[in-house]
Amino acid sequence: LSDPLPEALQRHRVPFDGRFNVHELSSDPPSDTPPKKELEDELDDLVDELDELQRRLFADERFAVLAVFQAMDAAGKDSTIRKVFSGVNPAGFRVHAFGRPSELELRHDFLARVAQRLPERGRIGIFNRSHYEEVLVVRVHPQFLTAQHLPDVDPARVWDERFESIRNFEQHLARNGTAVVKFWLDISPDEQRKRFIDRIEEADKNWKFRLGDLDDRSRWDDYQVAYQEALAATSRPWAPWYAIPANDKRYMRVAVARIMVATLRALDPRFPAVGDEQRRELQEGLARLQAENGGG
């Protein structure tokens, strides 16, 4: 089998020229998907490599990585994050989940709360939902926009203006050393229905079900339009979107892990070179420790 990593950065990537049609996508895994066992082995390897790359990222001190996850309910954001980052040093990454904004958050501009949660150099930051809710749920349910008390909202322009703000924000991050990579876990309505029914029928999953989730489900087509426009407008070389088929969790996780590994590899983080001064300190340290031993 050919190495899937080099092409992982192209496959599923939302084009940068705005030509993106959600109706051309499939939520099912591609036909060349390896069998279950191979996918599991590959994920194990990728999880290990991600840990190694994060250690370099930390030592290198130049870059941060921000991974954004967006999806309809039950697409598997949480379990994907859990599995893909399961091998990374817990000190090396931080997950933040963005729910409904608080009263105070609503008094700030719509990027303020994400700006406070960005990863510092050396770290991987994961956003479970993100500023994109501001052009997704807020677009589908305009009462959320009303609650923001914005001056002069022009409904014909507000979403394009937000896309522009987001593009500029992410480009600013990229210029300052944060690699931004964004995942839309693209589940089909049939698969979501199955998973909701599982949540109702399986006692261990009951806690995940909220009747309110069906309201968003009933707005499926509006969400598709919102996703299409948001992804087309904000997938750019400095902050690409990937539309990952989400009906098969194993494939989805491997696809996300491949892209994370390929993104980090492309940054080429390195352990810092040992300079003359440090070499002298290493030698002196060794000499002193050996002398201790000799002094017995």
Nearer to ligand ADP, 54 or 80 (CB): 80
Q: Is 162 in the site for ligand ADP (CB under 6 A)?
A: no
Instruction: Give 139: exposed, middle or buried? Use CB within 10 Å, 0-12, 13-18, 19+.
Output: buried
98 binds ligand ADP (CB under 6 A): yes
Does the protein bind ligand ADP through residue 134 (CB under 6 A)?
A: yes
Among 76, 92, 101, 269, binds ligand ADP (CB under 6 A): 101
Tell me the sheet residues that pair with 79.
none
- Chain-centroid distance, C-alpha 10: 16
Burial of 205-244, coded b for 16+ CB within 10 Å and e otherwise, reads: eeebbeeebeebbebeeebbebbbbbbbbbbbeebbbbbb
Task: Find the binding residues for ligand ADP in span 58-77 (CB under 6 A).
Answer: 73
- Report, in Å, the least distance between residue 134 CB and ligand ADP: 5
Which among 28-36, 99-107, 162-170, 192-200 is the span making contact with ligand ADP, rule CB under 6 A?
A: 99-107
State yes or no: residue 144 binds ligand ADP (CB under 6 A). yes
Q: How do the residues of the chain divide into helix, strand and coil, expressed in percent and rounded to 5?
A: 55, 10, 35
Q: How far apart are CA 128 and CA 125, in angstroms?
A: 10
Task: Supply the minimum distance, in Å, between the C-beta of residue 100 and ligand ADP.
Answer: 4
List Cβ neighbours of 109 (8 Å cut-off, separation of 6 or more).
Answer: none
Shortest distance in whole angstroms from residue 145 CB to ligand ADP: 9
Q: Is the dihedral of CA 172, 124, 16, 163 positive or negative?
A: negative
* Stretch of residues binding ligand ADP (CB under 6 A), selected from 25-33, 50-58, 128-136, 186-194: 128-136
Using the rule CB under 6 A, is 230 a contact of ligand ADP? Answer: no
Which residues of this protein are in contact with ligand ADP, per CB under 6 A?
73, 98-101, 129, 133-134, 137-138, 144
